[in-house]
Amino acid sequence: MKSSSTKKIIATVLAIVIAITSFVVVRKVNKTKKDADGVEVTVQTTSENTTKSKKDESETEAPVPEDASKANGEKGKVETVNKTGDEATTSKPKVTKYTGGALPSFSWEEAQKLSPNYFGESVFIGDSVSLKLKMYGGLPGATYLCYGSFGSCNALSGTIKANIWNCINGKKRVYIMLGMNDLNRAGVSGSVANMRQLCSKIVAANPGVLIYIQSMTPIIKAKDGTNGKILNNNNIRAYNQQLSSMARANGWYFVDVASVMYNDEGYLKDEYCSDPNGMGLHFTSAGCATWCWYLKNHCYDPSWSVRTATVKYVMEDGSKAPATQKAEKLRAGDSYSIASPMVKGYTPDKSVVTGTIGTEDIETVVTYTKDPRYTLTVKYVMSDGTTAPKTYTKGDFLKGDTYSVSSPKVDGYEVDKSNVSGTFESKDITVTVKYTLIKTEPITHTLKINYILSDGGTAPAPHTATLAEQESYSITSPEIEGYTPDTPIVSGKMETSDITVDVTYTKIPD
């Protein structure tokens, strides 16, 4: 058992260790806070030299510790909203409304035809993730307002020397991706609210500018859950879902970059991660290449004249028609060609709908007419006049349809066509099938009639005949003078065996 003095020594050592640890944590928190608050925003294009920031671009940002997010007394959330200045503006910003589902998009080739300097007219706002996009340089002419540790929280808190919304400098489009440095500070909903306020300030200060909110990209599996309680893949997905809804509600565009960054398990692809030993969410050149590819294939500007050629299908007889087809994203002068679907038994009045789009949408109706139908009739005839099988009749055949009908079996008869088959032309078809009785040797038996005189006299010789089964017979008994037969006529049908009949004669009294 340890002495009381030993216990005191151990307690003293533990107290010293705790004090030193607390001092180091406080210094780390303060340093992180200072770095975040000391961000300077520099406007540059890909063709300009990179301005060195207070924090080196290759350095990964540490998440804000939980203790630093309790300034307003609410765990995990800091109130970063500035209650003065432009935020008090009540006028509704002028924006181009977006009410569809996915962002309407053009390929890079199409976009270049419509706007040769598309990215040159665009500015990208982001944190150190977007800094790598800037260094990659895959978006021709783009301007970047990006810096390490940047987020909507510190953009709105007044710690930025030049307000970001005053740095757009007449650009037509603003692409913004923030969140990595916000979730641990303001939580998911708070970060979305801050993003909405930041975008509103940008629009208010730059009337007519178009806002494209990029989804926050994910974290690799090995680092998921290691960057603070809130900065993890589940919350990133929730954040992106809320960003999408918020963008649509405000008439802004949502660009789902994250959709091409996930692996099969729902994490950032390892080959896209440049800091697997850091935060696990910054990009390699391969990740930036995919990012650029996605942006180039999701270009959109509402000023582009997008038209649609629609073809609706109608069945003349009211039956179910094929689904409507559309040629979308057409520009004035574009030609289109939409083949009418094949429907068996029907002919469309237009096999292909073609034309050139003008300044308005076009709708064309294609009507399907029912093709002629033909009937197959098979008649059955018995050669001996007995009752034949029922006539076979079937309609609704089309030209080119084949048919095959087996003739019914009838015992004792042979048929001249065991199967009726062929191909329809443009007329009805009638076929006659004849049944003939099959000839066979009959089964015969012997009929024998014995004549007997009751008094023992000499009687006529027996009558013998060979008859087929079921063959009728009628034999008159011979006359014998002075005698009367008990069966004057022997009649009946031959059975399945020989038949013997005795006819007895009785003497007529004198």
Q: What secondary structure does DSSP assign to 4-51, as a single string?
A: HHHHHHHHHHHHHHHHHHHHHHHHHHHHHHHHHHT-----EETTSPPP
Per-residue model confidence (pLDDT) at position 79: 29
Per-residue model confidence (pLDDT) at position 421: 96
Q: Is the dihedral of CA 289, 293, 298, 302 positive or negative?
A: positive
Cα 150 from chain centre: 39
**pLDDT band for position 334 (cuts 50, 70, 90):** confident
CB 140 within 8 A of CB 119: yes
Distances 487 to 95, 119, 459 between C-alpha atoms, Å? 123, 126, 15
Per-residue model confidence (pLDDT) at position 9: 52
365-407 pLDDT, tens digit each = 999 999 999 999 999 999 999 999 999 999 989 999 999 999 9
CB 296 within 8 A of CB 278: no
In 3D space, the residue among 61, 62, 54, 56 whose CA is nearest the CA of residue 38 turns out to be 54
pTM beyond cutoff 0.85: no
CATH 3.40.50.1110 domain locations along the chain: 35-296
Q: Which CATH number fits domain 374-437: 3.20.20.70, 2.60.40.4300, 3.30.2310.20, 3.40.50.970?
A: 2.60.40.4300
Does position 359 have pLDDT exceeding 70, yes or no? Answer: no
Mean pLDDT of the 134-144 span: 94
Instruction: Give the integer Cα–Cα distance in Å for 11 and 488.
Output: 146
Per-residue model confidence (pLDDT) at position 332: 59
Per-residue model confidence (pLDDT) at position 123: 97
Does position 40 have pLDDT exceeding 70, yes or no? Answer: no
Per-residue model confidence (pLDDT) at position 2: 43
278-302 pLDDT, tens digit each = 999 999 999 999 999 999 988 888 7
- Partnered with residue 449 across adjacent β-strands are 463, 501
Distances 282 to 104, 172, 223, 273, 356 between C-alpha atoms, Å? 28, 28, 12, 6, 47
CB 149 within 8 A of CB 36: yes
Mean pLDDT of the 201-223 span: 95
Instruction: Give the integer Cα–Cα distance in Å for 296 and 136.
Output: 14
214-272 pLDDT, tens digit each = 999 999 999 999 999 999 999 999 999 999 999 989 989 999 999 999 999 999 999 99
Instruction: Give the integer Cα–Cα distance in Å for 213 and 282.
Output: 19
Does position 199 have pLDDT exceeding 80, yes or no? Answer: yes
Does position 344 have pLDDT exceeding 50, yes or no? Answer: yes
What length does the chain have? 510
Q: How is the chain split among helix, strand and coil, in percent rounded to 5? A: 25, 30, 45
Per-residue model confidence (pLDDT) at position 118: 94
Cα 468 from chain centre: 77
Long-range contact list for 395-403, CB < 8 A, 24+ apart? 397/373, 397/424, 398/344, 398/345, 398/371, 398/372, 398/373, 398/374, 398/424, 399/371, 399/372, 399/374, 399/424, 399/425, 399/426, 400/424, 401/374, 403/376, 403/429
**pLDDT band for position 312 (cuts 50, 70, 90):** very high
Stretch (H or E) spanning 493: strand 489-493
Q: How many CB atoms lie within 10 A of CB 65?
A: 16
Q: Which CATH number fits domain 35-296: 3.40.50.1110, 3.40.50.2300, 3.30.450.20, 3.40.50.970?
A: 3.40.50.1110
- How high does pLDDT run on average in the chain? 80
Per-residue model confidence (pLDDT) at position 101: 40
CB 421 within 8 A of CB 368: no
CB 179 within 8 A of CB 197: no
CATH 2.60.40.4300 domain locations along the chain: 307-370, 374-437, 444-507
Stretch (H or E) spanning 103: none
153-193 pLDDT, tens digit each = 889 986 655 689 999 999 999 999 999 999 999 999 999 99
In 3D space, the residue among 1, 210, 215 whose CA is nearest the CA of residue 121 turns out to be 210
CATH of domain 444-507: 2.60.40.4300
**pLDDT band for position 110 (cuts 50, 70, 90):** confident
Long-range contact list for 384-389, CB < 8 A, 24+ apart? 384/437, 388/435
Stretch (H or E) spanning 398: none
Q: Which CATH number fits domain 307-370: 2.70.98.10, 3.40.50.300, 2.60.40.4300, 1.10.10.10?
A: 2.60.40.4300
Per-residue model confidence (pLDDT) at position 115: 85
At position 215, the amino acid (one-letter code) is S
CB 253 within 8 A of CB 247: yes
Q: Select the more confidently predicted residue: 77 or 357.
A: 357
**pLDDT band for position 315 (cuts 50, 70, 90):** very high
Stretch (H or E) spanning 339: strand 335-339
Per-residue model confidence (pLDDT) at position 302: 77
What are residue 420's phi and psi, to 5 degrees?
-105, 120
Per-residue model confidence (pLDDT) at position 87: 26
**pLDDT band for position 8 (cuts 50, 70, 90):** low
Does position 64 have pLDDT exceeding 90, yes or no? Answer: no
Per-residue model confidence (pLDDT) at position 11: 52
**pLDDT band for position 104 (cuts 50, 70, 90):** low
CB 390 within 8 A of CB 413: no
**pLDDT band for position 504 (cuts 50, 70, 90):** very high
Mean pLDDT of the 51-69 span: 30
Per-residue model confidence (pLDDT) at position 26: 32
Q: Select the more confidently predicted residue: 154 or 65.
A: 154
What are residue 300's phi and psi, to 5 degrees?
-165, 140
Does position 30 have pLDDT exceeding 60, yes or no? Answer: no
Q: Is the dihedral of CA 196, 199, 205, 208 positive or negative?
A: negative
**pLDDT band for position 86 (cuts 50, 70, 90):** very low
Per-residue model confidence (pLDDT) at position 160: 59
